[in-house]
Amino acid sequence: MLRTLGRKSILTRPDQTKNTLSFLNLNGSHWFSDDVMYSANVYYRGARTKTLNGDGNDDQAIQDAILAGDAADVNDALAQCAAGSADSDELCNGAINRTKSKRVSMGFTNQLAFNQDFLGKKNQFTAGFGYDYGRTKFRQSTEYGLLDASRGIVGNGVANALDEQVRLRGVSKTWSLFATDTMSLSELWHLTLSARYNHTKVENRDGFDNQLDAGGNPVYTDPANQTLTANHNFHRINPAIGLNFTPTENLTVYGAYNEGSRAPTAIELGCANPAQPCKLPNAFAGDPPLKQVVAKTYEAGLRGNLTQTVRWSFSTYRTQNTDDIQFISSALSTSGAGYFDNVGKTRRQGLDASLSGVVDRFGWAVGYSLVDATYQSEFDIANDVNSASVVNANGDNVINVKKGDRIPGIPKHQFKLRTTFAITPSWTVGSNIIAFSDQYARGNENNAHDGPGAKVGGYAIVNLDTRYTIGKGWQVFAKANNVFDREYNNGGLLGESLFTANGQFNDGNQTSAFLVAPGAPRAGWVGVRYEFGGKTAVADSN
């Protein structure tokens, strides 16, 4: 369909997303003495998102009549839909989904740094604490309607039932304590030890709790029906250790180990009950708590100077996530439903290499990354369209993900080239070449789908930029992305479509389809930048 109708086409209309962002960040520091410095950061971030999306209604009973070839039943069902029938969820072939979210986050970090010798050795010790607060309000609803010839949805004014709508308010509060110490064991060896303690509380509140429907009845009448209201607490100490060896001024060898963690999101916590599977994104249920994801990383590398103007670096790493979170099929689900669960381990390992230099007025940098991202635990995922799916004991179509299968959406090879040229001391031009190899599409987590859409093809794009310094803090800049207007896709999903290749409604019959996210076409920007304030003040070390 994309090839037939062009890359400006759209699957269903309308498809609108409106984002508004306000962000304020303040940093400050003060030297109490030559070797003691206090620094702090305060931030505020407010974001609002509204979406209006037209979709096919794949739960419609009218499909049975269409497939049975009963034209009279089809026309009668669509007429009832247009008239606003109370059974629009079964009679309409289209739906308009609306979401509204408001997200606010704010917080601060304080720290003290001490540049003082310890046990007769050079030492730097830093300690501090921080607090982060986040609040999310999310609403979602559906209006039913009819598909027209241009794949637009004409709404009939009938909304989905109250118990199928979502009104979630989530609050996240995180307190953090951290400390790090770097000691020079000798002129050649430097040891770093650090630790960070996080305590996160996530409070979910269901917007429909204690509310009444149009008939004056409680929205939740079954005591066994859990709501989204719940409190969850997560805490952990994440340690890190690193060792640097600098045998010469042109060579550094280093190794490190660190741990990190993240608490489950409000959405993940809102759909984690095996007894109440949900169909994301428009049905949440109350849930038992999930474990936080813990990442353990080993890293080693070398960096140095080949000459005074040429630098190089090489590093290798291995990160293993435990209790990683995945949306999986449920033993009690209808087809396509499931829940979030801690499925086990995933691993990302690879290497990064770079080379950069300056020759007179010409600067360059080249980088390569190998990212081997794989699942390390076996589990099943609900999937109706993967050619390798099988029917489990509950009658659901699932795919079996095995240890070693690659994680979708992550190209294995990445290449970047940056060049700059100073035409004058005030005028610089530059370019970026970015290339990515192919990646497995989502829905092909088992890497076994045999057919269109198994992978998203690799691509390379060229960007250009220039900047001119006027003086007294003023700069003019311009940039152009994808200057050759390369057509590429940066994401893909195995799914289903109600339409034929030329965009016509397929008589209510959903067929397997490869859905893609087209990459951005050629685009350009011009702008002005002004930097104010004097040079950063530092303590006099003499």
Helix (H, G, I), strand (E, B) or coil at 71: helix
Where is average pLDDT lowest: 268-282, 316-330, 501-515? Answer: 268-282
Q: pTM for the complete prediction?
A: 0.82
Reply yes or no on whether the pLDDT at 227 is more than 80: no
What is residue 484's DSSP assignment? T
H or E stretch at 79: helix 71-82
Per-residue pLDDT tens digits for 350-365? 999 999 999 999 999 9
Give the C-alpha separation, 181 to 190, whole Å: 10
Reply yes or no on whether the pLDDT at 333 is more than 50: no
Query: Closest Cα partner for 194 from 246, 234, 245, 243?
Result: 243
Query: Closest Cα partner for 259 from 191, 213, 198?
Result: 198
Per-residue pLDDT tens digits for 47-88? 999 999 888 776 656 666 665 666 777 778 888 888 888 888
What pLDDT was estimated at residue 279? 44
What pLDDT was estimated at residue 427? 96
- Residue bearing tokens 């080993």: 298
The residue-averaged pLDDT of 307-311 equals: 94
Task: List the structure tokens of 501.
Answer: 């290749």
Query: pLDDT band at 173, cuts 50/70/90?
Result: very high
The full DSSP string for 109-177 is EEEEEE---BTTB-EEEEEEEEEEEEEEEEEEEEEEEEE-TTSBEEEEEEEPPGGGSEEEEEEEEEEEE
Which is higher by pLDDT, 226 or 127? 127
Per-residue pLDDT tens digits for 87-141? 888 888 888 988 888 999 999 999 999 999 998 899 999 999 999 999 988 888 8
Where is average pLDDT lowest: 355-359, 396-400, 414-418? Answer: 396-400
| Torsion sign, CA atoms 263, 267, 269, 271 | negative
The residue-averaged pLDDT of 41-49 equals: 96
Q: Please report, rounded to a whole number, the percentage of residues in the chain having pLDDT higher than 90.
A: 49
What pLDDT was estimated at residue 64? 63
What's the one-letter identity of residue 522?
R
Reply yes or no on whether the pLDDT at 41 is more than 60: yes
Where is average pLDDT lowest: 232-246, 348-362, 493-507? Answer: 493-507
What pLDDT was estimated at residue 280? 43
The residue-averaged pLDDT of 414-441 equals: 96
Reply yes or no on whether the pLDDT at 507 is more than 80: no
Give the C-alpha separation, 297 to 268, whole Å: 24
Reply yes or no on whether the pLDDT at 16 is more than 60: yes
Best mean pLDDT range from 53-57, 264-268, 340-344, 423-427: 423-427
Whether residue 288 has a cis bond before it, omega within 30° of 0? no
Give the C-alpha separation, 480 to 269, whole Å: 41
Q: Please report, rounded to a whole number, the percentage of residues in the chain having pLDDT higher than 70.
A: 82
The residue-averaged pLDDT of 426-445 equals: 95
- Residues contacting 191, CB < 8 A, separation 6+: 182, 183, 185, 241, 242, 243
Instruction: Answer for the pair 144, 120: CB distance below 8 angstroms, yes or no.
Output: no
Averaged confidence pLDDT in the chain:
84
What pLDDT was estimated at residue 328? 59
Query: pLDDT band at 286, cuts 50/70/90?
Result: very low
Instruction: Answer for the pair 302, 313: CB distance below 8 angstroms, yes or no.
Output: yes
Query: Closest Cα partner for 170 from 109, 113, 103?
Result: 103
Q: Count CA atoms within 13 Å of residue 360 on its CB side.
A: 3
The residue-averaged pLDDT of 247-269 equals: 87
Reply yes or no on whether the pLDDT at 42 is more than 60: yes
